[in-house]
Amino acid sequence: MLDSPLVDTRDSVQVTGPCVSRRSILTRIGAVAGTAVTVSLAGCSSSGADHASYWSESRQLDIDYDAVLTAARDTGYTVDEPYYVGTKDARGVHPAGVADFDDRFGPEYRVFGFTFFPAEYVFVEVWLTDETPTVTLIDDRGFDEFPVESVPPEAWLIDRLTLAFDISETTARDHVADLREQVAEGTSNPSIDVDASVSFPRVYEAIETERTDASGSETGGDGWYKETSYRDGTRYATVDIIVQSAEIKHEDGDRTYTIELDRLGGLYVTIGLPVGEEIPEDEYRQVLRDMFEDVGLPTEVVDDLTFEYAGSIW
């Protein structure tokens, strides 16, 4: 269930196909300037063995995530969890003191990063997935080198850094000088590491105070949620949040039917089978209807899903 006021589909990108992962598309969310991406991890295998695949588009449902997983286990399906966008590595941070997030995203959500937009095409990205947080200046217009004129004002950068991190104004000023020096020397995305504690509750309180509207992306089954905040109709900030997701599996001989489901109700389906083998559409849809009914998901969704097929992942 998405608790944001709106589901933002204006900047959404649907990506499907064999062995596609969101992490392979976005090594950094800034690479697409805050675009919300829904990815189906279709046809992929942890073993790397070649196989045929069916995969569906994604859907967003109003569900009780924990109840669905309990029903799946009670029915005898294999439930593999938790995943955080295709991996069990819980990267990012789980900040204390944001009760609203615990209610909306569950007790194990992770914040991957947040971004501020001082101008339409320029943004400052704080990324939290590595051991040391990074801050990067990005101009989304795709210049080979970051333009000097796109550097935000020094006072604004110092304000954002002291808001995001437990650092002094002097330390923030030194970081800003480093960024400006990188721009002067010529680089596409000037970036610094900030070895300091992140104060996400303070950041989010400021975002809530300063914004006039907000929207949230669909999660599509892998659990990547982007909340975009606007101030007077202009994009002002984004926050990237990862919620837990799970795989519900049914083995039918050498065929594996998998429901990929995340805590916010994002869902897609994959079917793995031997190379070159196909299944009559009526047959695989009936298997999926039975699975949906067993775990408490609406069976009519299966009839609406569009599937694609690849006879091999190579």
What is the reported pLDDT for 107?
A: 86
Q: What percent of the chain clears pLDDT 90, i.e. is strictly above it?
A: 80
Q: Contact 264/219 with Cβ under 8 angstroms?
A: yes
For residue 285, the number of C-alpha atoms closer than 13 Å in the C-beta half-sphere is: 13
Collect all residues with Cβ–Cβ distance below 8 Å to 239 and sequence separation of at least 6. 111, 113, 114, 115, 204, 207, 226, 227, 229
| 314 confidence band (pLDDT: 50, 70, 90) | confident
Distance set, CA 52 to CA 16, 55, 196, 279 (Å): 15, 10, 47, 11
Each residue's pLDDT tens digit, 239-284: 999 999 999 999 999 999 999 999 999 999 999 999 999 999 999 9
Predicted TM-score (pTM) of the model is 0.83
Report how far residue 193's alpha carbon sits from residue 209's, in angstroms, rounded to the nearest whole number.
27
DSSP assignment string, 278-292: ---HHHHHHHHHHHH
- Structure tokens, 177: 């000088």
Report how far residue 169's alpha carbon sits from residue 158's, in angstroms, rounded to the nearest whole number.
7
What is the reported pLDDT for 91?
A: 92
Report how far residue 297's alpha carbon sits from residue 237's, in angstroms, rounded to the nearest whole number.
34
The whole-chain average pLDDT of the chain stands at 87
Report how far residue 256's alpha carbon sits from residue 56's, in angstroms, rounded to the nearest whole number.
14
173-204 in b/e form (b: 16+ CB < 10 A) is bebbeebbebbeeeeebbbbebebebbbebbb
| 48 confidence band (pLDDT: 50, 70, 90) | low
Report how far residue 113's alpha carbon sits from residue 38's, in angstroms, rounded to the nearest whole number.
17
What are the residue ranges of helices labelled H in 221-313? 281-295, 300-304
Each residue's pLDDT tens digit, 150-181: 999 999 999 999 999 999 999 999 999 999 99
Element holding 101 (H helix, E strand): helix 99-105
| 86 confidence band (pLDDT: 50, 70, 90) | confident
Distance set, CA 214 to CA 195, 228, 233 (Å): 30, 6, 10
